[in-house]
Amino acid sequence: MRLDLEAFKQIGALKLKLDELASGQLQADRRSARRGRGMEFADYREYQPGDDLRLVDWNIFGRLDQLLVRLFHEDVNMTVHIALDATASMAFGEPTKADYGATLAGALAIIGLKNQDHVTLSCLGGRGPRNIAKGHNMQAFGSFTQLLEQTTPASDTALAKVIDDQLSQKRLDRLVLISDMLQPAEVNALTLRALARRAKGAALIHVLSQEELNPNLDSPTHVTDAETGQTLLIPGGAAAKAQYQKILAAWLEQTQQQCRSLGLGYMRVSTQDPLVGMLTQTMRRQNLTMSAHGAAP
């Protein structure tokens, strides 16, 4: 993971956007469905013994001779889960999709932690001493970087199953999957359905490298699948290139369409794209981030 100081400053001014009510446990600045202490007035109810007298609206008592207690929306933090695909296919590209995805995951974690969100980061598949890190402030960031640096892409993992296994049963506020989605179409559909099921606002960040976008098809080549070990003879030449571009475009369109139909956010990024621009502009356009101060960063 590599973030320079300037990028760090820029993403520090961001905040994960949540259109719905937050469901965190700790007090923070996101509106929740619970009534309690907060800044924003929600409703009145009749005073009951034991209520804090500071919450009684004395003006109303003076006018109407009724004891009413003011209720506020309780401000809590949000629960964010960042899932990083660490299967073997992510080890390709320059930089590798795994590196790019780890940097992206780290940046999202920083955004969440700085805003006291409850952030969980998990690596799906891959090889490392552990596969999950969580925290709600920047003090926990060390464990995130440790996880990201110690995990190396490996093996072939069905993402849908891992998501079901690793994620808590409680519905999350935000779930972001960073993956290349190079798995069979039916598995992709299962994965996206699992995402939609697990969170109120889920999004897929589709990371692709030049290996996928513009592979070297100049000559016939024996290509070995990094995950399955299967080898195929791929024809080369201009016709093969053109055919591949059609297949790629259809696949991307299909993935995006599936996300749209499930209400998932979808962002396609190339490992060649600058990271800061992606966080500050692309994600903002996709309603994933916003300015922490209410203005555009």
Partner 1 sequence: MSFHAPWLLALLAIAIPTIFTFLHHKQAQRRQAPSLLLLAQLQTVPNKSPRGLTLQHWLALAISLLALAALTLVSAGPQAREKSATTVWLVLDNSASMAAKDRHGKTRFERALRHAQTHIIPSLDPRTKVGLVLLAPTARVQVEASPIGPALLDALELLSHAPPQAAAAGAHHALPLLEPRCEAGPPQQTLAILLTDAAYPWPESITSACQLELELFTDDANNLAISALSAKETDALGQQRIYVEALNTSDAPREAEIALSLDGRRLDPPLKLTIPAKQRANKTITLDLAHGKRLSAQLINAPKDLNALTQDDARTITLTPSPRARVLLITSSEESYIANALKLHPRVALTQAAPNTKLNAQAPVDLLILESPTSAKLPPARRTWAIEQAVEQLGVKRLTAQARPKISATAKHPINEHLKLDKLTITQAHALNHPGATTLWADGPYAWALAWQDEAKDQAYFATGFHPERSDLVLRIAFVNLIANLVEWSIPTSKAQAPQDAKAIIAQAEADRATQAESWLAPQRGPITAAQTTPDAPTQTSSSPLLSWAKEHLWRLIILLVFALLCVESALSWRTHTPWRRSR
Q: Interface residues with partner 1 (CB under 8 A)?
A: 88-93, 97, 180, 182-184, 209, 211-212, 215-216, 218-228, 230-237, 240, 243-244, 247-248, 251
Whose Cβ is closer to partner 1: residue 257's or residue 287's? 257
Give least dist CB 263 to partner 1, A: 25
Give least dist CB 92 to partner 1, A: 4
The answer to whether the bond into 95 is cis (omega within 30° of 0) is yes
Give least dist CB 213 to partner 1, A: 10
Whose Cβ is closer to partner 1: residue 92's or residue 100's? 92
CA 61, CA 43: separation in Å to the nearest integer? 15
CB 50 within 8 A of CB 72: no
CB 61 within 8 A of CB 68: yes
The CA R_g of the chain, rounded to the nearest whole Å, is 23
Give least dist CB 276 to partner 1, A: 25
Give least dist CB 217 to partner 1, A: 8
Whose Cβ is closer to partner 1: residue 46's or residue 186's? 186
Q: At what angle do helices 185-198 and 238-262 cross, to 10 degrees?
A: 30
Give least dist CB 170 to partner 1, A: 33
Whose Cβ is closer to partner 1: residue 74's or residue 99's? 99
- Separation of CA 196 from chain center: 12
Which amino acid, residue 17? K
What DSSP assignment string belongs to 118-137? EEEEEEES-BSS-SEEEESS
Whose Cβ is closer to partner 1: residue 55's or residue 240's? 240
Whose Cβ is closer to partner 1: residue 99's or residue 117's? 99
Nearest to 116 by CA among 133, 132, 139: 139
In terms of Cβ atoms closer than 10 Å to its own Cβ (0-12, 13-18, 19+), residue 238 is exposed
